[in-house]
Amino acid sequence: MKTLKIFVAVLMLSICGSVQAQITKEQLKEREKLKGLSQKEAMERLLNWVQTAFVYEYDDKVWGDDRAFFPEETLYYPYCDCEDRSILLSRLVRDLLGLKAIPAGL
């Protein structure tokens, strides 16, 4: 299991550059969509997307134990759980809305 985790970490390091570039392009598009919305409306839109855009699965079932994703990993892997979504939402709120966001309980 430790070897698999190391392999995944190395794999993520190798693809993070392209994923990060993709996120930046997507952020620009999303930022445009959020213009003109109130802060509350923009937050509701981001929250709805994070809650509905991904397939939920327990970490224990997918990975064999609990693990939290970086925001880029949530976009990359086919499944995520609550803490993964909260981390992604915090990143989107920070990057797209310019607000301070800290996931509670992590």
Task: Summarize pLDDT for 80-89 with one digit per residue, the tens.
Answer: 998 999 999 9
Residue 49: domain span:
2-97
Residues 87 and 2: their CA atoms lie apart, in Å, by 24
Nearest to 79 by CA among 69, 87, 89: 69
Q: How many CA atoms lie within 13 A of 40 on its CB side?
A: 0
Helix (H, G, I), strand (E, B) or coil at 51: helix
Residue 106 lies in a domain: no
Residue whose token pair is 């952020």: 27
pLDDT digits (tens, 9 = 90+) for 3-37: 444 444 444 444 444 445 555 666 667 677 788 88
Q: Write out the E strands in the chain.
A: 55-56, 79-80
Residue 62 lies in a domain: yes
How many domains would you assign to the chain? 1
For residue 80, give the DSSP letter. Answer: E
